[in-house]
Amino acid sequence: MLYFDCDYNCGMHPAILRRLEETNGEYTGTYGLDCFSEGAKQRIQDACGDPEADIFFLAGGTQANAVVIDSLLKPWQGVVCAPSGHINVHEAGAVEYTGRKVMALPDHEDGKIRPEELQDFLQKFSDDGSRDHMVEPGLVYISFPTEMGTLYSAKEISDIHDVCKEYGCKLFIDGARLGYGLGAEVNDISLGFLADHCDSFYIGGTKVGAQFGEAVVFPHHGAPDHFFTIIKQHGALLAKGRFTALQFDVLFTDCLYEDIGRRADTFALQLRELFVRYGIGRPAVLSHTNQQFLILENSMIAKLRGLVKFEVWSATDEGHSLCRFVTSWATTQGDIDCLEDICKSVSGN
Amino acid sequence: MLYFDCDYNCGMHPAILRRLEETNGEYTGTYGLDCFSEGAKQRIQDACGDPEADIFFLAGGTQANAVVIDSLLKPWQGVVCAPSGHINVHEAGAVEYTGRKVMALPDHEDGKIRPEELQDFLQKFSDDGSRDHMVEPGLVYISFPTEMGTLYSAKEISDIHDVCKEYGCKLFIDGARLGYGLGAEVNDISLGFLADHCDSFYIGGTKVGAQFGEAVVFPHHGAPDHFFTIIKQHGALLAKGRFTALQFDVLFTDCLYEDIGRRADTFALQLRELFVRYGIGRPAVLSHTNQQFLILENSMIAKLRGLVKFEVWSATDEGHSLCRFVTSWATTQGDIDCLEDICKSVSGN
Amino acid sequence: MLYFDCDYNCGMHPAILRRLEETNGEYTGTYGLDCFSEGAKQRIQDACGDPEADIFFLAGGTQANAVVIDSLLKPWQGVVCAPSGHINVHEAGAVEYTGRKVMALPDHEDGKIRPEELQDFLQKFSDDGSRDHMVEPGLVYISFPTEMGTLYSAKEISDIHDVCKEYGCKLFIDGARLGYGLGAEVNDISLGFLADHCDSFYIGGTKVGAQFGEAVVFPHHGAPDHFFTIIKQHGALLAKGRFTALQFDVLFTDCLYEDIGRRADTFALQLRELFVRYGIGRPAVLSHTNQQFLILENSMIAKLRGLVKFEVWSATDEGHSLCRFVTSWATTQGDIDCLEDICKSVSGN
Amino acid sequence: MLYFDCDYNCGMHPAILRRLEETNGEYTGTYGLDCFSEGAKQRIQDACGDPEADIFFLAGGTQANAVVIDSLLKPWQGVVCAPSGHINVHEAGAVEYTGRKVMALPDHEDGKIRPEELQDFLQKFSDDGSRDHMVEPGLVYISFPTEMGTLYSAKEISDIHDVCKEYGCKLFIDGARLGYGLGAEVNDISLGFLADHCDSFYIGGTKVGAQFGEAVVFPHHGAPDHFFTIIKQHGALLAKGRFTALQFDVLFTDCLYEDIGRRADTFALQLRELFVRYGIGRPAVLSHTNQQFLILENSMIAKLRGLVKFEVWSATDEGHSLCRFVTSWATTQGDIDCLEDICKSVSGN
C-alpha cells in the first residue's frame, strides 16, 4: 500500500528520533524554561533574521490558532478569513469557543483571499453607520500554504499586510504546512519576509516531520502580555516543554525544515505529472506544494483503492470526484516509482 | 547535582523510547484512529476490568481537567473541590475560562476533602431558598494523590462517591500522579475500584514517565456525547494521536505504570527518612507518595542549594520554610545513596 | 419633522402606560414570580392555543437571541441563519460571545432562507467525512418578519421545519417585529401555527409598543432545563419582573398586539404607495410589513432630510441609495397625510 | 400584610411615573443617544463633581457586575471579593460565565473585606514563584452597602483603594443599594468621594425606586475602549435607552436618590428598635441601612408570618433563625406604626 492520504500518517523524522535518544537522560527546567527551548528559539530567531522575535511552542494547529487569535484580538473584535479557512471549517468552532466571531470573505477556488476584497470588507465596516453594533474586524487570518495547497506570492502578502495596516487590523499566518510552502519551487517568500509582514505566524511541526508541535512567532517582541499564562489558561502548556522545543531545534538545524518541504513538494509534482501523463486524473487547482487536488473518474478511484491510500473529497459531477493526494517528509523516490507502476497498470498503458 | 525538584524534569521512560524507535516508520490512522490507540485503550480497559470504559488521550493535566469538567457539567452547574485543588490554584483559571465556577470546600492541611463537609455543602445548597440564583454543584473534583502527596482510602472515596450519588452530583478524579498513588504501600484502591466509584478519572502520563499525555477514562460507556468533537473544540486533539497512545500502551504493559510509582514512592520514603534521621527536616504532612513536604531550617536550605534541586514553597516561621522534594521514574538508588552522603555532610554527622 | 427612522423612537403604547399607573402601588413577588407574570403567560398561552407553553420575559432582542440559542444548542453545535440574520450582523457577536458558531446559508435579497438550500447544507454536513472536526448545525434561526421586512409563508416555515426535523435540528424564530408580521395583509400564519412549527420563538415587545421586553416561548413544555438560572447566569434576569410581564399582559389584551402591527403595516404600505405615486422612490424589495426599503435619488434624499427622519443604508449606484422607512405603533394617519404634502412638494407635483 | 421582604417588591417611585407620563409621546434617539440619557449623565456627573465621568445605563445588577468586571479585567486576570459578595454567591456564576475567576478573601460576619487581608492576599500572589500559572488578581469588588447592610467608612475605602493602587489592581464598587448607603446617618462618603477612590462604581436604580436600571460610572474618562459595543455583545443594550436614563434623570433631580435612601434607612432603624424594644428579635450584625438582620425565635417567626412578609435566611441554633427585614422607598410611617401594633400584639405587651 502506498500512503498519500495525509502528511501526518507516519512517525517522526529520524533526525528528531536520534536527538530524543541522545538527550533523553538529561535533567532540564520545565514549562519551556529549558536549554532545548532556548536553543530552538535561537535557531528560529536566526532563521527569521529577527533576534527579538518572541517564540512559544504549542502542541497542535487548532490550539495554536485559537490561542493566538484569542490573544491578538481586543474583546470587541473578530477575525477575518477565507471561507475555506481551517478555522472556519475544520476546527470544531475552536475560535468561536473562545468567544470570537469568524468572518468569511468571498470564496475562491484557490483558497486565497484577495487584497482588494479585504479592502472592500474593511472599508465597508468602517463606513457602516451601525458599526458600533457590529463585530470589528481586528485580525486577518491566512494560511501559507492554503487549504488547497496554493501559495501567496510575496507581493500578495505584502498587499494584504498593507491593507491590514491601513485599517489598524492585525495579520496572522497559519503555517501548519509552512515547510512545504517555503520549499516550493515557485515560492518567493522567506521566514524573514514573514517576520516583517505580519503580527504573528506559526511554523508547523506536526505536518512537517515532528511528533507534534507548532512554533508560534511574534516578530519584534510582539507577544501579547502574559502570553505564558494565557497558554496555561487555554490548557495548552506542556510540563515537559523540552520535547516540543527539541523537535524544532532539530528541524532548524542544517535547513532540515525547508529540505523536508522541498523534497515532498518535488514528489507531489511528480505524482501529479504521473496522473496527468497516464490520463488518470487532472488537477482541480494548481498547487505547488505537497497537497495535490485531482479530479478522477469514479471507476479509476475504485481501481486505485486497494493500492494507494488517498482522500475522496466530494463529487464534482456524475462520474467524477475531487481527490486529495499528499506527500510528506516520509515519502520516498521508491514510493513514486511504485506509483508509476500502479499508474501504468490501472491506466492500461 | 541531585534533582528532586519535580517529577517532570527528565526525559521519558526508556521503555517508551524503545517503542518509539521500533514503530516510528509505520503508517497509521490519525487523530486517535490507529492501532496504538486501540491497543492502549484495550490495555487500560483490562487494567480497569471495564471492557466498556471509554478512553481518550489528551496532552496535559490542565487540559484534561478543563475539557472533562466542562463536558461533564450542565450549563448551570459548577465544580466543587478542595481549596488547594490544582484547578483552583495552579491552572491559570482554565476551568473558569470555559465558563464554569470552581467552588472550594473547607481547607485542610492534607489537601483532602471530607465526605461530611461535602454533604453539608450539598445539603445547604439543596435547602437554600435562593438556589435558583446560585451555581448548582454538579461535579466534585478530587486528586489522587492530592497536591500534598496524601491519599484517599477506598473507604473515603466510597463515602465521597455515596454523597455525590445522594445529591445527583458527579465525581471526577485527577490522577496526574495516579501511578504514585497506586504504587504506595498504604494504598488500598485499584484502577478497577476507581472505575466503579467515579464518573471519570484520568491516568497521568506526563508525571509518570511519559513525554506528555493523560489517559481520560469514562467508565461504563460514560463519555459525554460527541466528546471527540469537544476535544477538538478545546484545541486538544493531536493529529498524530498514536504518539500519546503508544506511551500508555507501554506504561500498561507488564505493570510498568504501577512499578514506576512503587519505585519512586520507596525512594521518597527513604528520602524523608534520611532527612529525619540526620535532623535536616521534619515532615509537614504525612505523604505516602513521591512528593515529600518537609520543613527545613533556612540555613540548612542554603547549605543544600548547590547540591540538591528542590522547591522552597513558603516560610513557616522566622527561621524555617516548607520545602518540596519529589522523586520520579528517573530517580535511582544511586541518587538516594548520594543524598545520604550529602545529608551526612551538611548535618555535620 | 416626521419620524420614520425606526420603530423604537417613541415612548410606550398609552395602554401600557395606563396599566403602569393603575398598578404601580401594588406589592408583588419578584423575579417573575408575580401575578402580572402569571397573567401575561396565561394570555400568551391562550393566544398560542398551547396551555403547556413555557414562557419567559427578557429585556431585549439580542439578549433573547443569545440566551435562547446558547441554551438550545448542545456544546458541540452551532446555529444556521441567513447571511443578513440579525445575529450574524448587528448583535456585536453576542452569539459567538457565548462560544457558539454562527453559520450562514446562501444570501438572498429578501433576507429569507430557502428550505432546499438548508437541506443541501445539512445533507452536506451529514455526508462529510470530517464532520467530527466540524461544528454540527444544531439549530436554525430565522426572523419573522426578516431584516428586509419580508415574510415567510406558512408553507415555507412548515418546509423549513420539516427539513429541521429530518436532520435532528431545532428551529428558533426571532420575532422582534412579530406583531408587524402577524398584522400583515398577506400573512397566513398565526401564533398557534408558530407554536406547532418550531422549538422556540419570541414575541417582540420593544419594537411593537413596549418600553422594553421580549416574551420567549418554548411550546409544549419545551424550555431547556434550569432556564431560570441560565437567564440569571447571562445577566438577563430583572428583579422587578412584573414590569416586563405587565407590558405583555396589556399587549395581549383585546388583540392589541396584532392591532398595533396591522395599523403600522397599513401606514407602511401607504407610505410606499405615496413614494411610488409621486416618483420619489421605488421599492428595493417587496415588504409587506412596517419596514419599507426604497431606492431614492440622492438629490431627493437631500430634499427630504429636513422634513422626514429615515435611514440611508447604502449606495446602490452613482446617484441612488437604499433607504429604510419604518412605521410603528406611534405612526398616525396625520403623519401619512403630512407625508403626502411633503411628497407633493418635493416631487414638484 | 406589611411588606418587608425586599426593596424591589413594589412599583416605581411616583416621581418617575409622572415623568414617564409627561414625556411618553416624544420622539428621541435610540440606544442611549437621546436627550434623557444626556440629561441623566449630566446630573450624575454633577452629583459626582466629575464632568469627565463616563456613564452608561444597564438594566440590572448582575448584568452590570458581569459586564463591568469582564471589561475591566485583562484576559489573564480575575476578581477578588468577600466570600459573601453577590458575584460569588447569588449571580448564578455570571462572572465565571464570562471566563473570569472569582477569588474570595477571608470571611467576616459583616460582609466587609479588610485592607490588611487584601494586602496579604496581593502580596502573597506577588511573591509566589508559580504566579505565572495562577490567575492574577486584577480587580477588587466590594459592595456599598454590603450584603449585610453594613457600610465601609471613607477611611476603609481609602485604605482599600491605596492597597489596590500599590499592587496595580483596580477597584469596583457595587452600589446596587447605594442610595441606602449614602442616606445612612453614620455614612461619611459622598458620590464625589467614590469617584475619586475607585475605577468604577454603579448607582443602583432597581432597588432604590426605579422600575429597573443601574448607572455605571467610570470616573475621569475611565471607560474601557468600545464599551458601547461590549454592552451590546453581552446582550445588555436596550433599544429604548431613554427609559433607563429617564429614571436616573428623576432620581438625581432635587436629591431624590439620597432622600429615598435616608427615609428608608430611618424606617429600618425604627423597625429594628421596635423588635428590640418588644423583645421580638435581636440584631445579628449592626446594619445602618435598609436591610436589618435579626435573630428571632422560631415561635415568633410563626406568629409574624401571616402579618408581615420577610425572609428567613438560616437557622442559627435549635430554636432561632436569622431573618432579613427590608424597607424601601415605598415604606411609609403608617407601615411602621402598623408594625408597632403587631409587635405589641405578638409580644403580649
Q: What is the pLDDT of residue B349?
A: 64
Sign of CA dihedral C295, C298, C303, C304: positive
Looking at the structure, do residues D187 and D310 belong to the same domain, yes or no? no
Q: Which residue has the cell 441623566?
A: D40
Dihedral, CA atoms, A115, A119, A125, A126, nearest 10 degrees? Answer: 140
Q: How far is B132 from chain C (nearest CA, A)?
A: 5
Cell of C105: 446559508
Inter-chain CB proximity B225 and C74 less than 8 Å: yes
Instruction: Locate the chain C residue with the closest alpha carbon to A125.
Output: C89
Minimal-distance CA residue of chain C relative to B227 = C76
C101 close to A (CB below 8 A) = yes
Cβ neighbours of A17 in B, within 8 Å: 20-21, 24
**What residue numbers bound the domain in which A300 lies?**
2-7+257-347
With an 8 Å Cβ cutoff, is C133 touching chain B? yes
At residue A132, φ and ψ (nearest 5 deg) are -70, -15
Q: What is the pLDDT of residue C4?
A: 98
- Residue pLDDT, tens place only, D85-117: 999 999 999 999 999 999 999 999 999 999 999
Q: Check whether D236 has a pLDDT greater than 90.
A: yes
First to last CA, chain C: 21
Q: Looking at the partner chain, which of A91, A104, A130 has a beta carbon nearest the beta carbon of C90?
A: A130
Residues D31 and D97 in one domain: yes
Cα dihedral across residues D8, D9, D12, D13: positive or negative: negative
Q: What's the full length of chain A, in residues?
A: 349
Same domain, B77 and B161: yes
Is C95 in the same domain as C215? yes
Q: Which amino acid is at C339?
A: L
Instruction: Identify the H or E element spanning C2.
Output: strand C2-3
Instruction: Mark yes or no for CB contact D91/B133 under 8 Å.
Output: yes
The span from the CA of C89 to the CA of A15, in Å, is 50
Chain B residue numbers with beta carbons less than 8 Å from the beta carbon of D73 are: none
Report the b/e string of A186-222 with b at 16+ CB within 10 A: ebebebeebbebbbbbbbbbbbbbbbbbbbbbbbeeb
Is residue A200 pLDDT above 80, yes or no?
yes
Q: What is the pLDDT along chain B (349 residues), one digit of tens a residue?
A: 999 999 999 999 999 999 999 999 999 999 999 999 999 999 999 999 999 999 999 999 999 999 999 999 999 999 999 999 999 999 999 999 999 999 999 999 999 999 999 999 999 999 999 999 999 999 999 999 999 999 999 999 999 999 999 999 999 999 999 999 999 999 999 999 999 999 999 999 999 999 999 999 999 999 999 999 999 999 999 999 999 999 999 999 999 999 999 999 999 999 999 999 999 999 999 999 999 999 999 999 999 999 999 999 999 999 999 999 999 999 999 999 999 999 999 988 6
Q: Closest-CA residue in chain B for A329?
A: B25
Decide if B133 touches C, using CB distance below 8 A. Answer: yes
Average pLDDT for C326-335: 97
Cβ contacts of residue A4 below 8 Å, gap of 6+? A271, A308, A309, A310, A325, A326, A327, A331, A339
Same domain, C156 and C172: yes
The bridge status of strand C311-317 relative to strand B281-283 is unpaired
Can you tell me the mean pLDDT for A99-119?
97
Residue at B146: amino acid letter:
T
Asked whether the beta carbons of residue B62 and residue A237 sit closer than 8 angstroms, the reply is yes
Would the CB atoms of B228 and C74 count as touching at under 8 Å? Answer: no
> How far, in Å, CA of C4 to CA of C267, rounded?
11
End-to-end, the C-alpha distance of chain A in Å comes to 21
Q: Which chains lie within 8 Å of chain A at 3 or more CB pairs, if any?
A: B, C, D
C101 and A89 within 8 Å at the Cβ level: the answer is no
| B28 and B176 inside one domain | yes
Cβ C92–A311 below 8 Å, yes or no?
Answer: no
Interface membership of D126 toward B (CB under 8 Å): no
Secondary structure (H, E, C), chain D: CEECCCCCCCCCCHHHHHHHHHHCCCCCCCCCCCHHHHHHHHHHHHHHCCCCCEEEEECCHHHHHHHHHHHHCCCCEEEEECCCCHHHHCCCCHHHHCCCCEEECCCCCCCCCCHHHHHHHHHHHHHCCCHHHCCEEEEEEEECCCCCCCCCCHHHHHHHHHHHHHCCCEEEEECCCHHHHHCCCCCCCCHHHHHHCCCEEEEECHHHCCCCCEEEEECCCCCCCCHHHHHHHCCCCCCCCHHHHHHHHHHCCCCHHHHHHHHHHHHHHHHHHHHHHCCCEEECCCCCCCEEEEEEEHHHHHHHCCCEECEEEEEEECCEEEEEEECCCCCCHHHHHHHHHHHHHHHCC
Chain D residue closest to A78 (CA)?
A: D233
Residues B135, B131: Cα–Cα separation, whole Å? 8
Residues B43 and B175 grouped into a single domain: yes
Q: How much is the pTM?
A: 0.97
Contacts of A91 in chain C (CB under 8 A): 133
Could you say which residues from 227 to 266 on chain A have a Cβ atom under 8 Å away from some Cβ of chain D? 228-230, 232-233, 237
Q: Hey, is the C-beta of D129 within 8 angstroms of any chain C C-beta? A: no
Provide CB contacts within 8 A for D277, sequence distance 6+.
Answer: D343
- The Cα-based distances of A222 to A162, A194, A340, B251 in angstroms read 18, 14, 48, 41
Spatial separation of the C-alpha atoms in residues D247 and D12, rounded to whole Å: 9
Give the C-alpha separation, B335 to B5, whole Å.
Answer: 13
Residues A62 and A163 placed together within one structural domain of the fold: yes
Report the CATH number at residue C105: 3.40.640.10
Instruction: Check CB contact of D291 with chain C, cutoff 8 Å.
Output: no
Q: Does B75 touch chain D (CB under 8 A)?
A: no
Alpha helices (H) in C188-305, listed in sequence order: 191-196, 227-233, 241-251, 256-277, 298-304
Backbone angles phi, psi at C70, to 5 degrees: -60, -40
The pairing of strands C200-204 and A291-297 is unpaired
Do residues A85 and A141 lie in contact, with contact meaning Cβ atoms separated by under 8 Å?
yes
pLDDT at D250 over 70: yes
Q: What share of chain A is helix, strand, coil (3-state, %, to 5)?
A: 45, 20, 40
Q: How far is CA C328 from the centre of its chain?
A: 13
By C-alpha distance, the chain A residue nearest D71 is A75
A203 vs A58, A139, A240, D116, CA distance in Å?
10, 19, 20, 48
**What pLDDT is recorded for position C349?**
64
Let me know: does C325 contact C313? Beta carbons within 8 Å: no
* Same domain as B82, residue B139: yes
Q: Is the pLDDT of residue D349 over 70?
A: no
The rounded distance, in Å, linking the Cα atoms of D133 and C128 is 40
* Cβ separation B92–D76 shorter than 8 A: yes
Q: What is the mean pLDDT of chain D?
A: 97
Grid cell for residue C45: 398561552
DSSP string, A253-312: STTHHHHHHHHHHHHHHHHHHHHHHTTSEEESS---SSEEEEEEEHHHHHHHTTTEE-EE
Q: What is the pLDDT of residue D348?
A: 81
- Cis peptide bond upstream of B224, omega within 30: no
CB B92 to CB A229 under 8 A?
yes
Q: Are strands B214-218 and B54-58 parallel, antiparallel or unpaired?
A: antiparallel
User: CA angle, corner B142, sides to C98 and A64, nearest 5?
Assistant: 40
Question: Which of A224, A239, A254 lies at the terminal end of a domain, its last residue?
Answer: A254
D93 in reach of chain B (CB within 8 A) = yes
Label residue A248 left, alpha or beta by phi (over 0 means left) and psi (-120 to 50 means alpha): alpha
* Amino acid type, D24: N
CB atoms A97 and C99 under 8 Å: yes
Compute the CA torsion angle C97, C100, C105, C107 (nearest 10 deg).
0
Alpha-carbon separation of residue B249 from A139, B34, B43, B45 (angstroms): 42, 12, 7, 11
Q: Nine-digit cell at A258?
A: 525547508
Per the structure block, which three cell numbers stand in for B66? 478543563
How far the first Cα of chain B sits from its last, in Å, is: 21
Local structure of residue C35 (DSSP, 8 states)? H
For the segment A245-274, the average pLDDT, to the nearest whole number, is 98
A187 and A313 belong to one structural domain: no
pLDDT of residue B85: 97
Pick from D76, D136, D230: which is nearest to A75 by CB?
D230
pLDDT for position A323: 97
Task: Using alpha carbons, list the distances in angstroms from residue D326 to A108, A296, D8.
Answer: 65, 78, 10
Asked if residue A195 lies in contact with residue A219, where contact means CB atoms within 8 angstroms, the answer is yes
Sign of CA dihedral A98, A100, A101, A103: negative
What percentage of chain C exceeds 90 in pLDDT? 99
D316/chain B closest Cα distance in angstroms? 13
A75 touches chain D (CB under 8 A): yes
In the DSSP assignment, the letter for residue A223 is: P
Same domain membership, residue B132 and residue B55: yes
Predicted complex: ipTM over 0.95: yes
- In angstroms, the separation between the Cα of residue B244 and the nearest Cα of chain A is 10
Question: From the CB of residue C52, how many other CB atoms can be counted at a distance below 10 Å?
Answer: 12
| Number of domains into which chain C is organized | 2
| Inter-chain CB pairs, C–D, below 8 Å | 151
Percent over 90 (pLDDT), chain A: 99
Find chain B residues with C-beta within 8 A of A243's C-beta. 12, 211-212
CA atoms within 13 A on the CB side of D243: 28
Mean pLDDT along residues D214-240: 98
| Nine cell digits for residue D319 | 430554636
Of D223, D254, D285, at which residue does a domain stop?
A: D254
| Same domain membership, residue D341 and residue D307 | yes
pLDDT digits (tens, 9 = 90+) for C221-249: 999 999 999 999 999 999 999 999 999 99
State the average pLDDT over residues A220-240: 98
Cβ pair B179, B144 in contact under 8 A:
no
Final residue before a domain boundary, out of D202, D231, D254:
D254
Residues of D in contact with B78 (CB under 8 A): 93, 96
**Chain B touched by C76 (CB under 8 Å):** yes
Task: With a cut of 90, say whether residue C177 has pLDDT above it.
Answer: yes
Name the residue of chain C whose CA is nearest to D328's CA: C27
Nearest one of B234, C180, B16 to A234, comparing CA atoms: B234
Nearest chain C alpha carbon to D25:
C11
pLDDT over threshold 80, residue A220? yes
Alpha helices in C278-312 (DSSP H): 298-304
